[in-house]
Chains A and B, each alone.
Chain A
Amino acid sequence: MKLLVTGASGFLGGYVVADAARRGHEVRAAVRRAPNPGRSVETVILDLRSRDGLVEALGGVDAVIHLAAAKAGDLHAQLATTVVGTENLLLAMTQASVRHIVHISSFSVYDQMQMPAHSLLDESAPMADPMGDRDEYTITKLIQERLVIEASRKNGWRWTILRPGMLYGRDNLFNARVGMRLGANAWLRTGAWACIPLSYVENCAEAILLAVEKSQADGKILNIVDDQLPRQRQYARMIAPRFSPRPRIIPVSWTMMRTAARCAWLVNRWLLGGRAKIPGILVPSRLHARCKPLRYTNAQARSVLGWSPRYGLLEALDRSGNAVDVDASEPVAAAPAAGGTT
């Protein structure tokens, strides 16, 4: 297949591009800036915020893997990149007659606040409200996902939404589930016994390619998490020695943190008219999204994609810390598509 990968220069994008090439796909990697020389796949410089060059970039493409999204910036910067960028991409797909998209969403679209502690978060979990008090990333990912589904249904495209958990890998071991950074050398850790829905980047990249290759994934929304999900305390202890200087971990109990957030919310609502800006970890809906003890499953992805995470936690951490990653892996044949082979 000929694939256009948006967000190809991002953390996950680099692994998706490499894995796609390794599986024998023809890859066109969309990046914002000129790539480093020596890259073996075709690259096209695109900024999805502009429609310039988009239709041309989609010429001859069989499917789009849409990874591009903003992770930082204020709401309007993220709307421009994540939402307007997706609108432009979908319009260009229509014009270029590209009829297949695999969109990479996020666990952030769920509303963990509505879920009882220790319940199972699967694809049927309640969704967050974009008009609620979740952060900019959640708001824009919710809109982005809706746009992809609406355009796909309207145009009769093949589509799949993948929602990875917390991606980790080389240079990306810390994440919001571990807690909050306090300065340069301390982590505030809460929810010690909560499982972290980790997804090792190489495992996730493989799931994405399988979603492109397998027609069984069409019209499906799939959560992507690994098999061995560590508890937060365990994961923090495993990764802390890999940081230099080693961070000091300040534990705060989940009950205490939840109570503090509830109090802050009540004070803001009843005494300050809801106008105060308080840190995200003291906003109940955001705190629950980050630290609530829940259970996770990848059963649906396993069943639909025939996927199983290739690397367990210890091996993934080893690969994250060594010069062994997807570029050094053996070639893999693409999975057979329904009704034929790729």
Chain B
Amino acid sequence: MNATTTVLRAATIGAGKISEEHLRFLSASPRARLVGVCDISPAVADFAARKFNAQAAYTDYARMLADARPDIVHILTPAATHPRLVSDCLNAGAHVIVEKPVAPTHGQFMELWNLAQSKDRRLVEDHNYRFNAPVLTIEKLVNDGTLGEVREVEVRMSLPLRAPGGRYADTSLPHSSHALPAGVLHEFVTHLCYLALRFMPAVERVAARWSNQDSDGLFKFDDLDAMIFAGAVHGRIRFSSAGGPDCFVLTVRGTRGWASTDLFQPYVRVVAPRGGRRSSGPIHLIAEGWEMLGAGFNGFRNRVMQRTAYEGLRTFLERTYDALCRGDEPPVSFADMDRVSRLIDAMVDEANRI
């Protein structure tokens, strides 16, 4: 197989909001030929297929697997449906890219992973924010020693999940994620965990406080504060649905300096020696001010040009398709997924034992 000319027959299951990002990639990538789009709604499947030039629209994924014979399937449905869909796609001989979480529990993840191994297929969980440009910049700063040895990692997300009219606050048709082990927060903790673990060694101990600010019966939890201890590195994972404005902040602190970014308003703030010298407060502040000004203009340009926080998804998919075509290890490995899934299980187990 010639890796440079390989084109994978790709299909998607689920045509909700996140599918738009996947389908935009698939309709433009020279590595992919979009052979099918599947959704439970015939009209929505047809609309997505027409919009992204798919060869066919389906409402029955089993039929799509049989008729379109995709090499790879993107599973973009609610998390509770993942185990069955992943299993059926692997059994049909397709590689699988699945939105997070792969499965609600680590045990179910391992069953799916073992099935993928037995079928010689790849199973890849979407860790898209890991590939956002600011995160890659911070990784580089860690890897080239600019920040020194990592000592603290904090990932903080604030989103108004209870806002009236929001998808998670809908009481007339509750979102399916409310049924996950950690409720709707389960949808978000995967992102928080893989970003934190990117900068941490093996986890030794976890303490987590899950809480609910309102006893309306809809949400299991709407707030998480977790501490992760991994050797000399302390991590904190924080989710709040009450604090504003919206943010998705990653901060990595090392022995020589620290770096921080907000993926919803992309910039990278770096406080570290400049030009080989230790930082001196005023000069650093002036330099930072200049960089923040540039970040402000970039933010405005990003907004106009519709570059959203999903920017990393494209990079993730490009690298995954490249790896699959070459037969290499995908950019999100078993170890990455296994650590994240274990950490989420541990945090759920540790509920309120902080």
Which A residues lie at the B interface, using CB under 8 A?
32-33, 45, 47, 49-50, 72-74, 76-77, 79, 83-84, 87, 130-131, 139, 143, 147, 272, 275-278
B17 touches A74 (CB 8 A): yes
B41 touches A83 (CB 8 A): yes
Q: Which of B43, B303, B304 contacts A83 (CB 8 A)?
A: B43
Find chain B residues with CB under 8 A from A50 CB: 173
The verdict on B198 contacting chain A, using a C-beta distance below 8 Å, is: no
The verdict on B305 contacting chain A, using a C-beta distance below 8 Å, is: yes
Alpha-carbon distance between A139 and B46 when the two chains are bound, in angstroms: 13
B16 touches A277 (CB 8 A): no
Find chain B residues with CB under 8 A from A275 CB: 305-306
Alpha-carbon distance between A147 and B51 when the two chains are bound, in angstroms: 18
Q: Which of A47, A49, A76 contacts B16 (CB 8 A)?
A: A76
Q: Which of A32, A76, A143 contacts B172 (CB 8 A)?
A: A32
Find chain B residues with CB under 8 A from A74 CB: 17
Within 8 A of A (CB), among B142-162: none
Once A47-B172, A50-B173 are accepted as A-B contacts, the answer to whether A84 and B43 lie under 8 Å apart by CB is yes
The verdict on B44 contacting chain A, using a C-beta distance below 8 Å, is: yes
Find chain B residues with CB under 8 A from A130 CB: 47
Find chain A residues with CB under 8 A from B278 CB: none
Chain B, 157-172, contact with A by CB distance < 8 Å: what is the 0/1 string? 0000000010100011
Find chain B residues with CB under 8 A from A272 CB: 305
The verdict on B42 contacting chain A, using a C-beta distance below 8 Å, is: yes
Alpha-carbon distance between A130 and B43 when the two chains are bound, in angstroms: 12
Find chain A residues with CB under 8 A from B16 CB: 76
A277 touches B303 (CB 8 A): yes
The verdict on B50 contacting chain A, using a C-beta distance below 8 Å, is: yes
Once A50-B173, A77-B167 are accepted as A-B contacts, the answer to whether A87 and B306 lie under 8 Å apart by CB is no
A143 touches B306 (CB 8 A): no
Interchain residue pairs A-B with the least CB separation, the first 6: A76-B17, A32-B172, A47-B172, A47-B173, A84-B41, A277-B306
B304 touches A277 (CB 8 A): yes
Within 8 A of A (CB), among B40-91: 41-44, 47, 50-51
B172 touches A79 (CB 8 A): no
B31 smallest CB distance to A (angstroms): 21
Can you sample 11 A-B contacts with CB below 8 Å? A49-B173, A50-B173, A72-B165, A74-B17, A79-B44, A84-B41, A84-B43, A272-B305, A275-B306, A276-B305, A277-B303
B50 touches A131 (CB 8 A): yes
Chain B residues touching A, range:
10 to 19
Find chain B residues with CB under 8 A from A147 CB: 43
A-B contact count (CB 8 A): 47
Find chain A residues with CB under 8 A from B50 CB: 131
Alpha-carbon distance between A84 and B46 when the two chains are bound, in angstroms: 12
A202 smallest CB distance to B (angstroms): 28
Residue of A nearest to B50 (CB): A131
Find chain A residues with CB under 8 A from B172 CB: 32-33, 45, 47
Alpha-carbon distance between A277 and B300 when the two chains are bound, in angstroms: 11
Alpha-carbon distance between A277 and B51 when the two chains are bound, in angstroms: 18
Within 8 A of A (CB), among B163-187: 165, 167, 171-173
A228 smallest CB distance to B (angstroms): 36
Alpha-carbon distance between A143 and B42 when the two chains are bound, in angstroms: 11
Alpha-carbon distance between A143 and B41 when the two chains are bound, in angstroms: 12
Instruction: Given A50-B173, A73-B165, A276-B304, output 6 extra A-B contacts at Cβ < 8 Å.
Output: A49-B173, A83-B41, A84-B44, A87-B41, A130-B47, A143-B43
Q: Which of A45, A72, A143, A277 contacts B47 (CB 8 A)?
A: A143
Alpha-carbon distance between A131 and B47 when the two chains are bound, in angstroms: 8
Alpha-carbon distance between A74 and B288 when the two chains are bound, in angstroms: 36
Find chain A residues with CB under 8 A from B303 CB: 277
Residue of B nearest to A32 (CB): B172
Within 8 A of A (CB), among B1-51: 16-17, 20, 41-44, 47, 50-51
Find chain A residues with CB under 8 A from B304 CB: 276-278
Find chain B residues with CB under 8 A from A49 CB: 173
B24 smallest CB distance to A (angstroms): 11
B12 smallest CB distance to A (angstroms): 14
A268 smallest CB distance to B (angstroms): 9
Alpha-carbon distance between A49 and B167 when the two chains are bound, in angstroms: 13
Chain B, 192-235, contact with A by CB distance < 8 Å: what is the 0/1 string? 00000000000000000000000000000000000000000000
Find chain B residues with CB under 8 A from A84 CB: 41, 43-44
B306 touches A79 (CB 8 A): no
Q: Which of A33, A72, A83 contacts B44 (CB 8 A)?
A: A83
Residue of A nearest to B301 (CB): A276
